[in-house]
Structure formats: structure tokens, C-alpha cells
Chain A
Amino acid sequence: MTYLRDAAALARKDLLLELRGKETVPAMVLFVVAVFVAFRFALPQGQERAAGGLLWVAIVLTALLGLVRAFVPEREQGVLDALVLAPCDRSAIWLGKVLSVLAFLLIAEAAALPLFALFFEPVDAATVAAVLLANVGLSAIGALLAAMAVAGRAREVLLPLMFLPLAVPVVIGGVGATVTDDPARYLGFLALYDGIFAILAWATFEYVVTE
């Protein structure tokens, strides 16, 4: 129970920081809307069916935007070292970050999905389910990779290079759930992806942050 309380406390800290600073979530919302507008002009007449695929690219890029700054405050203020020294399991730091990234992503999508329905085409239940599943996987790998990137010199450049190839299966699962008549297998694949990478990230996070 203390483990979950630790993670929740860290996530709460991120949410409070965001409430006061408003640095990440407004940027994510504006970004996803701007991506939709740019995409509208990337779809010539007759190609509108591709919108379902573009939704997924927009979601992955928006998640990436939210992740770039995920560990920056901790690193800049030296908080990460203190957290590592704190008497809590280090994977709780990862879980806390996953929860806050997940919350930011959900807020951005709560704005993005209705707008997508308004601009392009209706969003069905399978798509919403796929988005919820994809969020878990994207946050899980994203929180780990962000911690890796922030340890290096080229952090802003590095994160997209690591994140996008790893997110390609999420795009495939998401697009499959959105455009095909048989979304169940794609949702299953997304759940499998979540499970595999969440366990791997949870188990390896400790090695990324300890000096």
C-alpha cells in the first residue's frame, strides 16, 4: 500500500506543478488541434478515409510533446537524486510519472477526440477503447525513455528518435482498431503491448535512475 501511496504522491506533485505552471497540458491541446488543421490540408479530395490513420499519428506526436518535458523539472532542480535516495521503491518514481503523463494525455484527448469528430468523422467506441489502451503503453514506455533522455546531453532530440520506432506497433494497433471491422484483435494486441512494455519498464527503471 505504501508503494501505491508513494506513486500517487509523486503523480499528485506533477499535477499540482502543472496546475500552477500550466506548461504542458495547454501546449498539448493546442498542438493536437494544430496537427489536425495541418492534416486537413494533407488530405486531398477522396483521401478523407485516411483521417482515421492520421488521428493516431496526432496522438503519438502529442504524447511525445508531453513527454519531452516530463523529467526536466526533476533533473534541473536535482530532485531526481533526492527521489532516488528517498526510502521508497524506485519503480514508484516511474509509476508516479506514468500516472501524471497518463492524466495529461487524457485531458488532451478529451479535447482532441470531439474536435476530430467535428472536423473529420465520428469516433466509435472501438476507437475510444483503443485510445485508452494505447495511452497506457505510450505512458509506460514514454516515462522510461524520458528518464533516459534527460540523463544525456541531447535530450530533446533523443527522445523522439527512441520513442517513435517503439510507438510504431501502437500506431498499427490503433489504426487497425479504428478502420477495420474486427477491432477485437487489435485491441488485444494493444493490451498485449501494454502488458509487455509496462512490465519491462517497471522492472528496468531502477537501473536508469541510479548513479
Chain B
Amino acid sequence: MNIRIELLERLERELQALQVRTYRASDAGELRETLAGICGPYDRSAVACEDRPFLKELDLGFPVFSAREKDTWRAEHWRSMQEVQVGLSGADFALADTGTLILFSGNAGGRWLSLAPPVHIALLPADRILPGLDDFLDRFPAGDSLLSLGSAVTFVSGASRTADIELNLVHGAHGPKELHVVTLLFAT
């Protein structure tokens, strides 16, 4: 796996400046340990894992949140929201110079897993780190190819925040209160 360490370091610096906690895992064992550490305070059943092939292969042992049933998904999401404390998702890309994760709704997780649970953990394969926005957008010169990524392509830079009350910064206004990014240094 081709890892550009200076990109990874830059990304981690930017993420930390946004109060995001960063971790590295060099194999599946380390990843399990890291996740056990982050999820420590929560019950295993309070974690929802995205239904994404590489996460399945890693076999992390968390309940998998899977595709929608046509009419009942909303009720199910609402029920899950009462129970799920941690959303575990992949990240499709990351931009080092702004500390940004890019998530495609077309890739299994949809939109809610990175939005509704109070804690969001994103697993980022190290070869998905790009220097900046231009490098990401240049991958879609035709524009049209953006559409294949899903109905929502979301750039996430830090945990949800607001400063609407006398400019005091508060995390978790609506979205996650905590964001953790685990960079995977092994092939997935």
C-alpha cells in the first residue's frame, strides 16, 4: 500500500485543530484494539457499523446497519437513533489541507450513520488521503461522474458545531458531538 506519510501527518494536524481525535492502525488487530478503546464506555449493541464490503471483511463484531426497507426505514432509523451511540463508517476520501472527510451516500452507509449518533468513527484507508480539494474534484473532470457517487456527497470537517449563543463554540449542535478518525495503514 502506497502511503504518503507527509499527507497523513498534515491531515492529522488539521483534524486535531478541529478537535477531531486521530488514530492509526497498522493491522486488523490494532484496529480492533483502537475501536475497543473508543467504544469502551458503550455497549457493543450501541454501535452501528456501516454495511460496506471492507468493513465486513474486517469482521469487527459490531451490529451491521443495512439497507433500507422501502416503507419502514424511517421508523427503523428513529428507533435506532434511540439506541445507537456510535456510528462506524468508512471514509471514501480525505483532504489533508482542510482536515476533511468525504463520504458518498451511494456507498452503503447512506447519510444518517455519520450524522445521527453522538459519536462518529470514520475508518480511512491511508491511500485515500488527497492533498486538497482540487485533487478530489480533478477526479471528476466530466462532472457527470460525481452523480455515480450517490444522492449526497458530504464533506465533513470536524464534529457538528455551533457558536450561536454568544459566540461560544459548542460541539454536537445536531450532528455528532465527537468525531474519531482511524487511518488504516494496511490494505483493505
- A and B associate: no
